[in-house]
Amino acid sequence: MDHTHRGTALITGASSGIGAIYADRLARRGYDLILVARNRDKLNALASRITDETHREVEVLDADLNDRQSLAAVEHKLRQDASITLLVNNAGVGTHTPLLDSDVEQMTQMIELNVTALTRLTYAAVPGFVARGKGTIINISSITSIAPEVLNGVYGASKAFVLAFSQSLHHELAGKGIRVQAVLPGATATDFWALGGLPVEHLDPAIVMPATDMVDAALAGLDQGELITIPSLHAIETWQVYEDARRAMSGQLSRNVPAPRYATAR
Ligand code: NAP
């Protein structure tokens, strides 16, 4: 148990799964907590267990991040509470269904939570972090951000937004003392799967990681200063090749003439 006081961590989606493990681990690392999700009973139970075990301050903020008024209350908290040094944008939903079997209203709700709420909470936190010259943002993306064919396409695209947004945040804010980390979990054993219509027991156990191991690995990646952490990727050099190719290409992506392969017969 670390008794250094590291400020307060605000964690969204803290009532279960990955978010609840972050709450436990961050309290043990010396953070006070603000736990955000819809299920107040689960948040209260987690808060009292963590307070008993770690003696950290734990505040519960029940909020439906799909509801603009509730979301605004969390944004307000991030703007006015200068003790907040860490934002964990973890709340999210997903599914495996293809486009033809998916309801566009549900897809829109997913974008509102996975993309819009995460964006608004980041916009609320960053100015204070910059003014105080320190702050950390952990954004929970997914391996589907780079493998969008794996699950539902809107889910993968929402997580690709989280990855690209994190890369841009790092680019803009690293020089201002702000740490950014995007975490790309593979399949992780949480309620996420059952809620999305495919219980985790239906997956090959060889691809499913316990949530505790995933979060501990992600925090090790944070400690190592990583911008992108992919806990299940053993061959990290494959990511490096991918990232190097992206960076090498980026200087060639804007030109005043089309590539010769698009020359048309006039
Ligand atoms: P989970 O156990 O279902 O947790 C999701 C959390 O989000 C819960 O605490 C839930 O709490 C909260 N939440 C859902 N809708 C919300 C809303 N409208 N407003 C506020 N909070 C809401 O699933 P998980 O696996 O831990 O998911 C956490 C993150 O990991 C998600 O962003 C997910 O996309 C990502 N991820 C998961 C996996 C995986 O295989 N499990 C893989 C890659 C990425 P309430 O129901 O109490 O609101």
Domains of the chain plus CATH, in order, are 8-262 (3.40.50.720)
- Average per-residue pLDDT in the chain? 96
Q: Is 155 a catalytic residue?
A: yes
Residue 171 parent element (H or E)? helix 153-173
Res 190 pLDDT > 80 = yes
Question: What pLDDT is attached to residue 266?
Answer: 63
Res 178 pLDDT > 80 = yes
Coil, strand or helix: which one is 61?
strand
230 lines ligand 1 (CB under 6 A): no
Count, in order, helices (H) and strands (E) of the chain.
9, 9
CA of 13 to the centre of ligand 1 (A): 5
CA of 176 to the centre of ligand 1 (A): 30
For residue 185 the two structure tokens come to 């979990």
Residue 4 binned pLDDT confidence (cut-offs 50, 70, 90) = confident
Q: Of all protein residues, whose CA lies closest to atom 39 belonging to ligand 1? A: 188
- Please tell me which residue in 22, 31, 123, 155 is annotated as part of the active site: 155
Give the tens place of pLDDT for each residue, 13-60.
Answer: 999 999 999 999 999 999 999 999 999 999 999 999 999 999 999 999
Task: Give the residue with greater pLDDT, 98 vs 3.
Answer: 98
* Dist CA 153 CA 231 (whole Å): 22
Coil, strand or helix: which one is 139?
strand
Q: What is the mean pLDDT of residues 205-223?
A: 98
129 lines ligand 1 (CB under 6 A): no
Question: What pLDDT is attached to residue 5?
Answer: 80
Q: What is the mean pLDDT of residues 138-165?
A: 98
Q: What is the mean pLDDT of residues 173-178?
A: 97
Nearest to 93, CA basis, from 140, 61, 163: 140
CA of 180 to the centre of ligand 1 (A): 20
CA of 129 to the centre of ligand 1 (A): 25
* Dist CA 114 CA 65 (whole Å): 10
122 lines ligand 1 (CB under 6 A): no
Atom of ligand 1 nearest to the CA of 67: 18
Question: What pLDDT is attached to residue 216?
Answer: 98
Q: Of all protein residues, whose CA lies closest to atom 32 belonging to ligand 1? A: 92
Atom of ligand 1 nearest to the CA of 39: 47
Question: What pLDDT is attached to residue 16?
Answer: 98
Give the tens place of pLDDT for each residue, 68-121.
Answer: 999 999 999 999 999 999 999 999 999 999 999 999 999 999 999 999 999 999
Question: What pLDDT is attached to residue 107?
Answer: 98
Res 3 pLDDT > 70 = no
